[in-house]
Amino acid sequence: MSAYLLILAAVFSRIMPHSWLNFTAVGGGLLFFGGRRPLRQAWIPVLLMAATDYYLTTFAYGYSFHAQDYLLTWTWYAAVVILGHLMLRGRPSPARVGGAVLLASTSFFAISNYAVWIGSLLYPHTLSGLATCYAAALPFYRNDLLSTALVAGLAYGLPEAASRLAAQRSVRSAA
């Protein structure tokens, strides 16, 4: 249940007006969903994120929607759910959560900005243009890394902390 709620929070974190450069619950929500739900349900968060892309593009930004422009992003959504499944299924450790957060955020940064560089005229198609594209995206990367770490850290850390607190209280009351 909590994995579904976190995916809904990820959707709302994207559609609610905010000025935080890419500070959303998407990465953490996708990782958590992958770690908590069977892989056969991976289509659910991918479909919800794709629907959010459609809504944002057509209604919030007023652009025409072209599905081919989002195929790489939708593939990334699925890959992060799979990453969460592979790295965080069962009993995840802080190191595994941290590694998954780093992989998810860094892969999105690398892939999406390369796609911007190669698929648009915003930056010259030179090594210097690629470097400029990545440099311009660093604030977005930082905030995505922070938000993914915060969401995944809380999603995995709060239940663990509550479990330990409950175990300590039961030991104290038994004594």
pLDDT of residue 19: 66
pLDDT of residue 173: 78
Tell whether the model's pLDDT for residue 17 goes beyond 90.
no
Contact (Cβ atoms closer than 8 angstroms) between residue 144 and residue 105: yes
Signed CA dihedral, 161, 165, 171, 174: sign only: negative
Tell whether the model's pLDDT for residue 174 goes beyond 80.
no
High-pLDDT (> 90) share of the chain, %: 84
* Rounded CA separation 136/130 (Å): 10
Tell me which residue of 19, 72, 74 sits closest to 48, measured CA to CA: 74
In the chain the domains, ranked by start, together with CATH numbers, are: 2-174 (1.10.1760.20)
Contacts of 139 (CB under 8 A, 6+ apart): 21
124 phi, psi to nearest 5 deg = -60, 145
